[in-house]
Amino acid sequence: MFQLDDQFLQSVGLGDLPADQKEAFLQHTYETLEERVGTRLADSLSDEQLQEFESFAAQDEEKTYAWLNANAADYLQHEEYKQLASSAPEGTPPLIVAAEYASIRWLEVNSPNYRDVVAEELNKLKQEIIASRDHIGDQPAAAPQNGPPPSQQRQPVADDDNQDDQLRPAA
């Protein structure tokens, strides 16, 4: 699979981002990738399949373990499960690891091309990041406002003459 980490940031020319921005940027990148891949895969799945897959995302204990017992009863012995479990933050509940593993295995069965979709979407996302990397990290911490600051905004001058009102600078 892929890793969204410092090496990824280096590959897109963002290795010099401040540490706090790196973490936030990687999280945003992961969420964007997840959304894009999910959208593409959902187009090829039935409603029933989507519901089954969503039970893993919702960490539905009963459905997750029922699916694992029916489709990968020895999952605790699988190398990929062990890797997920060992890379999970300390104290991560077993259900979260099991649901993540179940979702991966489910995708292998129900959408065998999902790894290709992930690779394609990641490549597209990397190209978008590279194309806009000069502007990433330049944004102030606060969300920019639309339009000029309040002191430069124009407000209508109201009168009773039923004519088009004029604009004047805000006080």
Q: What percent of the chain has pLDDT over 70?
A: 78
Does the residue 161 lie in any domain?
A: no
Does the residue 151 lie in any domain?
A: no
Does the residue 110 lie in any domain?
A: yes
Domain that holds residue 120: 6-146
The arithmetic mean of pLDDT across residues 85-89, rounded, is: 93
The CA distance from 89 to 132, in Å, is 32
The arithmetic mean of pLDDT across residues 3-20, rounded, is: 90
Q: What is the number of structural domains in the chain?
A: 1
pLDDT over threshold 90, residue 147: no
Does the residue 158 lie in any domain?
A: no
Look at the pTM and tell me if it is higher than 0.75. Answer: no
Summarize pLDDT for 25-84 with one digit per residue, the tens: 999 999 999 999 999 999 999 999 999 999 999 999 999 999 999 999 999 999 999 999
The CA distance from 103 to 96, in Å, is 11
